[in-house]
């Protein structure tokens, strides 16, 4: 994908900058809820973008330069245009009620299934479905097997959301390899050169220490990307110490740059970055620029932040690179809630004027005191990602060069861990959240009940904070939910949390299905966190055949019209944003269009099913061939990593892992998916009950040592799904699934 020359890469990136409406304003959705003040969103200046797009359509790299005046606007760059959603009115479900006999005798095609245990039969008759067994290494496999064996397929939301994960990560990975890594290397080099120049001018002044700090800061970033980057003797010791800690990635230690504690275990390359040298370097450098925190309260660190801002503002090419990287990554992962150059630049100009030189900063202590006072009045971030001591403010205001990104889920989790929820009746502290905190805050009563049964409500502030979150997030906010692909992905999952009542198919009208949908939410959420682990800020607590006669194997779609409608919008938003800024080739545009068309067809079929209408032959054929569609996207996502044209799904299994929260005492919360599970569902097809099957998520979460943050490779080896380097397999380690998932599952002995 997008194999461009270096020149074309620069053109594409600078063209993206020229198309921006400057830095587009980041808003805070205070109306949503007081306790989640920075659920930020951004609004595009459509007319300005259109005009600039026309002007830049034939731009050459020599003609495109960033207007650093945009930096002084105090606004953030943005690629996505926020518009109000216009969703179609949902149909009123009116499926005729049906029951399943205790022995399944009224299920027409039971003879096609070789073995159903007594427990499986009981769950099928009571709930209309059961999750049992392994569906293969990838979600598409069971659907292809169904077609071969002439078994009815049950198309799941799980399988569609997993397919979006595959393509989301594929697109982002290619952008990082082909564009962002090179841009970050160039940016680091320019900022290092600028910082060295500042240091030379400020030696012997009150600014010397701050300038030297910045030389070390950008030298580390440059070295992480390129081993050949030069190191000044003045900062050699600092740089070598920091690089050793980053590469060892053993845990919390004091940073030589800031003097504060830093969690160096965060620099372990994880997700799809693991194993690719270029991506691993990019991962570490972006983590460095996203995490190192120049605390505002420390005047010396605030001086460094001022000098970084000035170095960027005085260099149009550096600013173009910074703005491009920030805008593209924000399109995928959302805006940063940290203070940065967009907030500091307007204050710099207000205090020092437009024409201040680096030498002109010397001897202006009153001006710096004014600047320092003004940065103290800027809003603090809402998500803490650095170690802080018990009793300190939950978040510490300060500056980051390329801050990690705000997310709704992280803001929710931050409000539901220590010290925001204090201690429970036994004096224990809730140092790690639970994935169920997110659906509970988004309105799931079942998720909240499970959390309360497991003791969450015993923490002093938990219930009060949860109620505030639920109240605020219940309000519809188009701007909030369409601010990035990350937010839109989460919004696509929200309808799964709505309890399905009368008029829906029998299998959806029970508590067990509600929990099954919670596992779908948790599994897709895990993939979302996995794909954005580098950018999303992590919360931290304080310290066939063979039949004589072909059977009727027409299938069924999980009827979730609103999910499919939002999915179609999500796929379209992905294509439109990347195409508009020259970062989408024709093949990927075609594939994203195909994803939208698949979800549109699932929407149409769902509405028909909920109206008890018989599908057309073409629609039944679409369900029959659904696995082929999924396999196409899986192959597109992995073919570039294979050594031959034939790739076995076992080489690239669906199972993955991601750490989503940190207890600074030495533990992280890992969320993971195993290979997909089989789901059997009793559905009504053209008036006849049939047993259909499909693939669903298999979700796990568990605490794990912080200095051993798991990679996908290690997780798959631990699960017995992938060979170790010597070719041997570990004994399968049985990780317990969350207890709340067991009641609708059947576990083969």
Would the pLDDT of 7 be above 50?
Answer: no
Higher pLDDT, 730 or 481: 481
Q: What is the pLDDT of residue 24?
A: 39
∠ CA 303-304-309, rounded to 5°: 100
Would the pLDDT of 82 be above 90?
Answer: no
How far is it, in rounded angstroms, from Cα 8 to Cα 183? Answer: 12
Q: What is the pLDDT of residue 115?
A: 84
Least confident span in 23-27, 348-352, 564-568? 23-27
Q: How confident is the model at residue 482 (pLDDT cuts 50, 70, 90)?
A: confident
Q: Please give the share of the chain, as a percent, with pLDDT higher than 90.
A: 69
Q: Looking at residues 628-634, what average pLDDT do you find?
A: 89
Higher pLDDT, 459 or 72: 459
- For the chain, domain boundaries: 168-399
Q: What is the pLDDT of residue 90?
A: 78
Q: What is the pLDDT of residue 723?
A: 80
Q: What is the pLDDT of residue 386?
A: 47
Least confident span in 16-20, 389-393, 525-529? 16-20
How far is it, in rounded angstroms, from Cα 495 to Cα 497? Answer: 5
Would the pLDDT of 60 be above 60?
Answer: no
Least confident span in 28-42, 219-233, 655-669? 28-42
Tokens matching residue 578: 């990347």
Q: Looking at residues 707-734, what average pLDDT do you find?
A: 84
Tokens matching residue 309: 């801002």
- Provide the 3-class DSSP secondary structure of residue 263: strand
Place of tokens 């299938």: 555
Q: What is the pLDDT of residue 69?
A: 73
Q: Write b or e for each residue in 456-481: b if 16 or more Cβ atoms lie within 10 A of its Cβ, otherwise e.
A: bbbbebbbebbebbbebbeeebebbb
Helix (H) or strand (E) run with residue 199 in it: helix 181-202
pLDDT tens-place string over residues 104-155: 999 999 999 988 999 999 999 999 999 999 999 999 999 999 999 999 999 9
Least confident span in 153-157, 290-294, 648-652, 663-667? 648-652
pLDDT tens-place string over residues 399-457: 999 988 888 898 899 899 998 898 999 999 999 999 999 999 999 999 999 999 999 99
How far is it, in rounded angstroms, from Cα 484 to Cα 112? Answer: 45
Q: How confident is the model at residue 720 (pLDDT cuts 50, 70, 90)?
A: confident
Tokens matching residue 732: 């399968």
Q: Catalogue the E-assigned strands of 338-452.
A: 398-399
Would the pLDDT of 30 be above 50?
Answer: no
Tokens matching residue 366: 């009153």
DSSP class of residue 437 equals: H
DSSP code string of 117-132 = -HHHHHHHHHHSEEEE
Q: What is the pLDDT of residue 31?
A: 35
CA within 13 Å, CB half, 250 = 7
Would the pLDDT of 668 be above 80?
Answer: yes
Q: What is the pLDDT of residue 385?
A: 52
Contact 313, 319 (CB under 8 A): yes
**Residues in Cβ contact with 535 at an 8 Å cutoff, skipping those fewer than 6 apart:** 286, 290, 329, 332, 333, 334, 404, 405
Q: Please give the share of the chain, as a percent, with pLDDT higher than 70.
A: 84
- State yes or no: cis peptide before 44, omega within 30 of 0: no
Would the pLDDT of 55 be above 60?
Answer: no
Q: Looking at residues 23-48, what average pLDDT do you find?
A: 36
Q: pLDDT averaged over the chain?
A: 85
DSSP code string of 599-625 = HHHHHHHHHHHHTTPPPPHHHHHHHHT
Q: How confident is the model at residue 612 (pLDDT cuts 50, 70, 90)?
A: very high
Contact 516, 129 (CB under 8 A): yes
Least confident span in 235-249, 325-339, 422-436, 643-657? 643-657
Q: What is the pLDDT of residue 247?
A: 95
pLDDT tens-place string over residues 308-328: 999 999 999 999 999 999 989
Find how far residue 654's CA is from the centre of its chain.
Answer: 16
The torsion region of residue 136 among left (phi > 0), alpha (psi -120 to 50) and beta comes to: left
Tokens matching residue 612: 């008890």
How far is it, in rounded angstroms, from Cα 266 to Cα 391? Answer: 24
Q: Is the pTM of this model over 0.85?
A: yes
pLDDT tens-place string over residues 694-703: 999 999 999 9
């Amino acid at each position: 994908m997008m194999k461009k020359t270096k020149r074309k890469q620069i053109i594409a990136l600078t063209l993206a900058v020229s198309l921006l409406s400057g830095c587009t304003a980041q808003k805070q959705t205070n109306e949503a809820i007081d306790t989640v003040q920075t659920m930020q969103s951004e609004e595009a200046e459509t007319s300005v973008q259109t005009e600039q797009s026309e002007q830049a359509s034939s731009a050459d790299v020599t003609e495109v330069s960033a207007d650093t005046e945009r930096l002084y606007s105090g606004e953030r760059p943005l690629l996505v245009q926020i518009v109000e959603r216009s969703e179609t009115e949902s149909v009123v479900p009116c499926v005729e009620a049906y029951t399943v006999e205790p022995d399944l005798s009224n299920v027409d095609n039971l003879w096609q299934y070789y073995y159903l245990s007594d427990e499986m039969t009981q769950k099928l008759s009571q709930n209309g479905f059961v999750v049992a067994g392994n569906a293969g290494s990838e979600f598409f496999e069971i659907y292809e097997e169904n077609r071969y064996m002439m078994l009815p397929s049950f198309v799941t939301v799980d399988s569609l959301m997993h397919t979006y994960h595959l393509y989301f990560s594929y697109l982002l990975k290619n952008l990082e390899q082909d564009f962002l890594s090179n841009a970050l290397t160039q940016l680091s080099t320019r900022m290092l050169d600028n910082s060295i120049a500042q240091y030379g001018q400020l030696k012997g002044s009150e600014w010397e220490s701050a300038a030297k700090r910045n030389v070390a800061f950008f030298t580390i970033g440059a070295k992480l990307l390129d081993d050949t980057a030069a190191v000044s003797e003045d900062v050699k010791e600092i740089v070598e110490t920091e690089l050793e800690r980053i590469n060892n990635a053993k845990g919390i230690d004091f940073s030589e740059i800031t003097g504060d504690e830093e969690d160096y275990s965060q620099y372990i390359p994880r997700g799809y970055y693991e194993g690719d040298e270029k991506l691993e370097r990019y991962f570490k450098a972006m983590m460095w620029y996203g995490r190192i925190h120049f605390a505002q309260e420390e005047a010396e660190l605030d001086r460094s932040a001022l000098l970084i801002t000035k170095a960027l503002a005085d260099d149009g090419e550096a600013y173009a690179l910074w703005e491009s990287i920030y805008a593209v990554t924000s399109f995928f992962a959302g805006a940063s809630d940290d203070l940065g150059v967009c907030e500091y630049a307007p204050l710099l100009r207000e205090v020092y004027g437009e024409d201040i030189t680096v030498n002109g900063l010397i001897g202006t202590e009153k001006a710096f005191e004014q600047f320092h006072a003004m940065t103290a009045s800027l809003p603090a971030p809402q998500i803490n990602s650095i170690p802080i001591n018990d009793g300190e403010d939950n978040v510490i205001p300060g500056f980051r060069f390329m801050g990690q990104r705000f997310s709704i889920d992280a803001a929710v989790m931050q409000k539901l861990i220590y010290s925001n929820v204090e201690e429970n009746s036994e004096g224990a502290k809730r140092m790690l959240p639970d994935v169920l905190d997110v659906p509970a805050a988004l309105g799931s009563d079942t998720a909240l009940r499970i959390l309360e049964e497991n003791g969450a409500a015993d923490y002093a502030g938990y219930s009060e904070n949860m109620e505030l979150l639920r109240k605020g997030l219940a309000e519809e906010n188009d701007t909030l939910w369409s601010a990035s692909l990350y937010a839109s992905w989460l919004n696509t999952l929200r309808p799964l949390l709505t309890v399905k009542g009368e008029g829906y198919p029998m299998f959806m009208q029970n508590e067990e299905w509600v929990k099954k949908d919670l596992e779908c939410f948790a599994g897709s959420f895990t993939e979302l966190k996995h794909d954005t682990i580098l950018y999303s800020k992590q919360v931290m607590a304080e310290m066939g055949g063979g039949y004589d006669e072909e059977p009727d194997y027409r299938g069924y779609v999980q009827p979730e019209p609103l999910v499919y409608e939002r999915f179609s919008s999500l796929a379209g938003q992905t294509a439109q944003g990347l195409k508009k800024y020259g970062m989408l080739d024709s093949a990927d545009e075609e594939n994203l269009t195909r994803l939208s068309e698949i979800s549109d067809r699932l929407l149409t079929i769902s509405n028909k099913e909920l109206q008890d209408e018989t599908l057309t032959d073409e629609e039944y054929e679409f369900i029959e061939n659904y696995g082929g569609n999924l396999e196409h996207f899986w192959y597109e996502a992995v073919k570039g990593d294979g050594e031959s044209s034939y790739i076995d799904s076992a080489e690239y299994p669906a199972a993955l892992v991601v750490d989503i929260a940190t207890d600074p005492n030495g533990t992280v919360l890992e969320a993971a998916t195993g290979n997909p599970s089989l789901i059997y569902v009793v559905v009504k097809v053209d008036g006849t009950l049939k047993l259909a099957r499909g693939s669903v998520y298999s979700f796990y979460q568990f605490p794990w040592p912080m200095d051993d943050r798991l990679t996908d490779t290690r997780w798959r080896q631990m699960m017995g799904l992938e060979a170790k380097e010597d070719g041997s397999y570990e004994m399968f380690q049985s990780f317990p699934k969350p207890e709340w998932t067991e009641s609708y599952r059947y576990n083969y002995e």
